[in-house]
Amino acid sequence: MLDRQALQAASALLWEHWQEGRRLPELPARLRPSARHEGYAVQALLEMRSRYPLFGWKIAATSTAGQAHIGVDGPLAGRLLREQVRDSGARLSLGANHMRVAEPEFAFRIGEDLPPRATSYNAQEVLAAVETTLPAIEIPDSRYEDFSKVGAAQLIADNACAHQFVLGSATHAAWRAIDMVEHAVMGTVAGKLERQGRGANVLGDPRLALTWLVNELSALGIGVRAGQVVTTGTCMVPLPIAPGDRVTADFGELGRVEVQFED
């Protein structure tokens, strides 16, 4: 069991590597979380390093392929820091990003607090607290040299591979009436690649992924707050990207979001 000093040291080490664009093989043994709850305890210390209230939450590995890609057997929750969030149309530098993929995602803005509780939330309760849905693109990264080998606890400590996040405008569509399971999304890397995804690729349904996130946090004694955004994981095989690429995710009537990566 890691003590407070070890948790703080692990968080500081990962933060330094994130800010400096460096990678490490894995956390030193004395700082290494051995279980998911320890990983979340390291991750929680990230909030102290932001100048703003927590923007929201992300989910990693919401598909079988995604879980295999990062070497885990289930989803992981991570924090979205306000400093890493940009509006649609943003120009971003890939810099030292090692993963170099863009992930179109269904995101939700919460309208009412969902506090932690002893019993699990059902999907109807969670959706009743949602204000709107938004199209999003996540640009993940890891602070580990080989993220597929370090295991879930260390990946959680590393903020579930969170890095940059681009958010579109809230939809004007009657989203509650839309079948998100079958809803198609087109991801495009201009002049290079088009790839289609759908909501079923996100834990079977983005709304169920949202419910999973709320219950994962609730079990840790953490609530999801009104105003926070939850992005639910990629709905397609991630799009490979390089400097100079323009990426668009078209969610049809739910809107579109795009980002330009600078040379």
Q: Where are the domains of the chain?
A: 4-261
- Check residue 207 and give its pLDDT: 98
Span 164-181, pLDDT tens digits: 999 999 999 999 999 999
Helical (H) or strand (E) element with 57: strand 56-60
Residues of the chain with confidence (pLDDT) below 70: none
Homologous superfamily of 4-261: Fumarylacetoacetase-like, C-terminal domain (3.90.850.10)
- Check residue 66 and give its pLDDT: 87
- Check residue 64 and give its pLDDT: 83
Query: How far apart are alpha carbons 181 and 163 in whole angstroms?
Result: 27
* Half-sphere exposure in the Cβ direction for 178 (13 Å, CA): 23
Coil, helix or strand for 216?
A: helix
Q: Which DSSP symbol is given to 224?
A: B
- Cut 0.95: pTM above it: yes
- Check residue 263 and give its pLDDT: 73
Contact 125, 158 (CB under 8 A): no
- Residue 162's alpha-carbon distances to 23, 177, 186, 200, 256, in angstroms, are 14, 30, 22, 22, 21
Span 62-93, pLDDT tens digits: 988 888 888 898 999 999 999 999 999 999 99
Q: Which DSSP symbol is given to 190?
A: T
- Check residue 183 and give its pLDDT: 98
